Amino acid sequence: MTEPTVLANLDARGLATITINRPDKANAYDYPTLDAVARHFEHFGADERVRAIVLRGAGRHFSAGADVAAGAEPPDASHRGIYDICTLIETTPRPTVALVKGACAGGGMALAACCDIVIADRSAFFSIPEVRLGFTPGTLSIVFVRAVGLRAFRRYAQSGQRLSADEALRIGFVHQLCEPESLDAALAEQIEQILLAAPQAARNAKAIAARLAPSIPPGLATQLQAEFAASQGTVEAMEGKASFREKRKPSWVPRS
């Protein structure tokens, strides 16, 4: 029997855990996996027993982002895109915690960015890699700018380079770093702090944060998504995906 690509659990204290379960693919997601993540966030967000929701990855990595081989666009309107899932997580009326180890890249980094708290171990690394695949950054640009600020976005979105865990902490993406063996202990301590807060008061605080966030100009998300979709058929994108599959540098890298 095939294991589910997303696991979910709720303990007696009201801690819900959602685990992306594709460890053989570094927890890169396809659209059925995103659909499952969305269903669990909707379910736990509506459950009055839930005091906090943790998002994590099985195995060595949090999430390497989109499964490039599975395609970067939803196959049809029955599947929600990554930006829709990010919006769902961001507006879930419960405290959310991303527990990060290993790769946290692209859409995987966006999923973490939408959680209220990010805890990472020192071996974790982060990236916004679209340009290295020849893609134009899309709606997730909104998520990243909110999470790291415009200056950091300009650097890392244009280069696609990795951020170390220390750099992610410095720019404010990560709230807490710990040694790999202490990751679950750090989570446990953070959950204890969350449980000290009155549930409705905490929800109200999250709602206030949403009201204080910079507003997105009408139509911007749709425009960015259209630009991202259009970039999928470019010569650069075809070369970027081919180089990724073949594990080589793309043709635009100068040869010495």
pLDDT for the residue numbered 69 = 75
CA distances from 32 to 22, 28, 228, 238 (A): 12, 12, 21, 24
What is the mean pLDDT for each group of 10 consecutive residues in the chain (256 residues)?
89 98 96 95 97 98 90 64 95 97 97 98 96 94 96 97 97 97 97 97 96 91 93 93 91 89
Answer for the pair 171, 152: CB distance below 8 angstroms, yes or no: yes
Answer for the pair 68, 241: CB distance below 8 angstroms, yes or no: yes
Answer for the pair 38, 49: CB distance below 8 angstroms, yes or no: no
Contacts of 44 (CB under 8 A, 6+ apart): 8, 10, 16, 18, 50, 53, 92, 94
Assign 220 to helix, strand or coil: helix
Residue 7 lies in a domain: yes
Residue 236 lies in a domain: yes
> How far is it, in rounded angstroms, from Cα 121 to Cα 132?
25
Residue 189 lies in a domain: no
Residue 188 lies in a domain: no
Residue 9 φ/ψ, nearest 5 degrees: -150, 145
CA atoms within 13 A on the CB side of 42: 8
CA distances from 59 to 23, 27, 131 (A): 5, 8, 27
Residue 187 lies in a domain: no
CA distances from 154 to 6, 82, 146, 161 (A): 33, 21, 12, 11
CA atoms within 13 A on the CB side of 237: 16
> How far is it, in rounded angstroms, from Cα 67 to Cα 22?
10
- What total number of domains does the chain contain? 1
- Find, among 25, 27, 23, the residue nearest to 59 by Cα: 23
pLDDT for the residue numbered 74 = 59
Look up the pTM and report it: 0.94
- Structure token pair of residue 81: 């895109």
pLDDT for the residue numbered 256 = 73
The CATH number of residue 98's host domain is 3.90.226.10
pLDDT for the residue numbered 78 = 66
DSSP string, 42-107: HHHHH-TT--EEEEEESTT-SB--B-GGG-SS-SSTTS--HHHHHHHHHH-SS-EEEEE-SEEETH
Question: Do strands 125-127 and 163-164 pair parallel, antiparallel, or not at all (unpaired)?
Answer: antiparallel
Tokens 């029955």 belong to 78
Answer for the pair 141, 163: CB distance below 8 angstroms, yes or no: no
- Give the DSSP letter of residue 165: H
Full domain range(s) for residue 132: 1-181+198-256
